Chain A
Amino acid sequence: MTANTPIDTGATAWVLVSCALVLFMTPGLAFFYGGMVRSKNVLGMLIQNVLAMGLISVIWAVVGFSLAFGGSNKWIGNFDFLFLADVANAPNLPGYVGDFALVIPPLAFVAYQMMFAVITPALITGATADRLKFSAYAILIGAWAILVYPTVAHWVFSPNGWLFGEGALDFAGGAVVHINAGAAALAVVLVLGKRRGWQREAMPPHNLPFTVLGTGILWFGWFGFNAGSALGANGLAAQALINTQLAAASAMLAWLVVEKLRAGHATTLGAASGAVAGLVAITPCAGFVGGMAPIVIGLVSGVVCYFALSLKTKFGFDDSLDVIAVHLVGGLVGALLLGLFADKTVNGLGADGWFFGGGADLLGKQVLASAATLVFSFVVTYIIAVVINKTIGLRVSNEDELVGLDQSQHAETAYQA
């Protein structure tokens, strides 16, 4: 492969647009979660998500991108691209040669990957809602964006990473984003503890219309997330886009049917939750499956994630807005189903899953990648959370929690009487 792959203008245009689409998902997530908390905590939720857009963008440019995509070591990147040095004019990025050569400017790739780095720690806010101190949150996700995210991104996304080398597939971040954030959310919640009054008093969502608005923004942005991950404007991007739509649609239907049968009503929150569960599950699969596989993946994820809701009451951890049930479990469902449904006729750089004549080989690799991501993220995040808890403390005081994060952390209220 020559050092200078020609830039494809169509691909570049699509990836630049996809950057904006993926960025938009973070405020979408803010509204998705913001609607589900009590009214005294809605600004606390919104600002935590928005802060990720500020803090993680800077960290990504300074050191995150370099740790994720620099050098040829298979465990971790290096400091070659610190402060984005030499990226703009790099003939290619490490590992992105041959079949993996980029046809977009390296800076477009930096920006696109930045948006993933931004939204991933923001997903944790749903688990820690209503009680995490703002300063502790900022340190937590700052440390996480340096110590956890780039490592997993390197393992899975970089062609030099060890899980990539093993042949594990993750098209748009089922492991890097969803299993990673879900495992981190579990670790933080275990250190942080439960909300005061959890399971004794009602904590119903204060504004489900916000949640539906947020779902719409997430769904819209997810086309950039998944179809943009083709890194080209081509048939693969189109395949990823239709897969995304079908999985979200069928997961929403599955969730609604199950909750109607189990609890008696099809709910607005259920429709929103089901759609997001389907979007999560299709993320790793989007560019590797075809036909009606996305519908099966959507249906399975809708049902499995619904039943995963009860994990928190069974095991007694207060994952406030069900990040573990939707993102960790949904991510695992997608990663494992990819081992069954992957199809090389869709993407020659992929593999054949069990149902397409590839045997159990790919499924084994998917289990390995999922387990490695889950364990690494959980352990390192747990250590970060314990260190913060022992120093400045993770939680707000009881009084501040009762008053609400809006007033106690930010001296604002969302709604004037």
Chain B
Amino acid sequence: MKLITAVVKPFKLDDVKDALKAAGAQGITVSEVRGFGRQGGHTETYRGAEYNIEFVPKVRIEIVVDDSVVERAVEAIRSAASTGKIGDGKIWVTNVERIIRIRTGETGPDAL
């Protein structure tokens, strides 16, 4: 099992959710986050004064999937979240040692 974490542009969240469902993901967790990457923030203007806003709003998506689904899910996120412009975000995949479903106590892929 793998944990896929993606940080994407907020307005792409719906597209990514639909693509993940189509790719077979059972559930996703979403949080609103702020940060910067190579994009390095953006500028805002208030009464003629320019501010560099370093921490840009993003959405972080986390899903845990079976190994067999990983490639499809990663590709689904990538193609749905891509605008081709700077600031589209990142996806990374990590190993998951254990997973337990709280209600039933099931473990492993059955718990997904």
Interface residues of A (CB under 8 A from B): 202-205, 259, 262-265, 267, 269-270, 273, 306, 309-310, 322
Contacts and interface: CB of A to CB of B under 8 A. Distances in A.
B56 to A, nearest CB: 13
B41 to A, nearest CB: 10
Contact of A269 (B46, B50, B51): B46
Contacts of A264: 45
A198 to B, nearest CB: 11
A309 B50 CA distance: 13
A263 B46 CA distance: 10
- Interface of chain A, main secondary structure: loop
Max chain A C-beta neighbours (<10 A), residue from B44, B45, B52, B53: B45
A259 B48 contact: yes
A322 B51 contact: no
Contacts of A270: 47
A322 B47 contact: yes
A202 B48 contact: no
Given A202-B53, A204-B53, 7 more contacts: A204-B51, A259-B48, A262-B48, A264-B45, A267-B46, A273-B47, A309-B49
Contact of B52 (A202, A205, A306): A202
Nearest to A325: B47
B51 A309 contact: no
Nearest to B41: A202
21 contacts: A202-B51, A202-B52, A203-B51, A204-B44, A204-B51, A204-B53, A205-B46, A259-B48, A263-B45, A263-B50, A264-B45, A267-B45, A267-B46, A267-B47, A269-B46, A269-B47, A270-B47, A273-B47, A306-B48, A309-B48, A309-B49
Chain B: number of interface residues, binned into ranges: 10 to 19
Max chain B C-beta neighbours (<10 A), residue from A202, A259, A273, A309: A202
A205 B44 CA distance: 11
Contacts of A265: 45
Interface in B4-55: 44-53
A24 B50 CA distance: 33
Contacts of A263: 45, 48, 50
A306 to B, nearest CB: 7
A264 B47 CA distance: 12
Interface in B49-71: 49-53
A264 B43 CA distance: 12
Nearest to A255: B47
B17 to A, nearest CB: 25
A310 B45 contact: no
A317 B49 CA distance: 15
Contacts of B52: 202
A108 B8 CA distance: 61
Contacts of B45: 263-265, 267
A309 B46 contact: no
Contacts of A273: 47
A265 B45 CA distance: 8
Contacts of A310: 48
B55 to A, nearest CB: 10
Give 5 closest A-B pairs by Cβ, nearest first: A202-B51, A263-B45, A309-B48, A204-B51, A309-B47
A204 B48 contact: no
B45 to A, nearest CB: 5
B34 to A, nearest CB: 13
A264 B50 CA distance: 11
Contacts of B51: 202-204
A306 B47 CA distance: 8
A36 to B, nearest CB: 8
A316 to B, nearest CB: 14
Nearest to A307: B48
Max chain B C-beta neighbours (<10 A), residue from A262, A263, A273, A310: A263
Nearest to B51: A202
Contacts of A306: 48
Nearest to B54: A202
A204 B45 CA distance: 9
Contacts of A262: 48
A310 B50 CA distance: 12
Contacts of A203: 51
Contacts of B48: 259, 262-263, 306, 309-310
A102 B47 CA distance: 42
A245 to B, nearest CB: 24
Max chain B C-beta neighbours (<10 A), residue from A203, A204, A265: A204
A267 B50 CA distance: 12
A26 to B, nearest CB: 22
A69 B49 CA distance: 43
Contacts of A267: 45-47
Contacts of B46: 204-205, 267, 269
B63 to A, nearest CB: 25
